[in-house]
Amino acid sequence: MKLYIGNLDEKIQDNHLHEAFSEFGKVSSAKVIMDRYTNKSRGFGFIEMPDEEEAVSVIKRVNGSTWEGKVIVVKKAIAKENR
């Protein structure tokens, strides 16, 4: 299951995202989205968790929690064409 992680601090990088969410289960990929012009974080990213139960658990446990001084949003990612 692909998860959207929002309101990330600008210092958070792919490896930080992967490490933090690996505490809750297997993470197959982690990507912080960067601005193509400034190469700075856009404040959100995505992780992929192959086990759907672990992903649902992460949403329940981590959504609304504080990370690096910011309250983060964790929810199931929705494909662009379905928004």
Dump pLDDT digits (tens) for 29-83.
999 999 999 999 999 999 999 999 999 999 999 999 999 999 999 999 998 777 6
Rounded Cα gap, residues 36 and 39, in angstroms: 5
In this predicted structure, what is the pLDDT of residue 79? 84
- What are the backbone dihedrals phi and psi of residue 40, each rounded to the nearest 5 degrees, phi first? -100, 155
Residue-wise DSSP of the chain: -EEEEES--TT--HHHHHHHHHTTS--SEEEEEE-TTT--EEEEEEEE-S-HHHHHHHHHHHTT-EETTEE-EEEE---GGG-
Q: What is the CATH number of domain 2-77?
A: 3.30.70.330
In this predicted structure, what is the pLDDT of residue 83? 64
pLDDT at residue 7 tops 80: yes
In this predicted structure, what is the pLDDT of residue 81? 76
In this predicted structure, what is the pLDDT of residue 46? 98
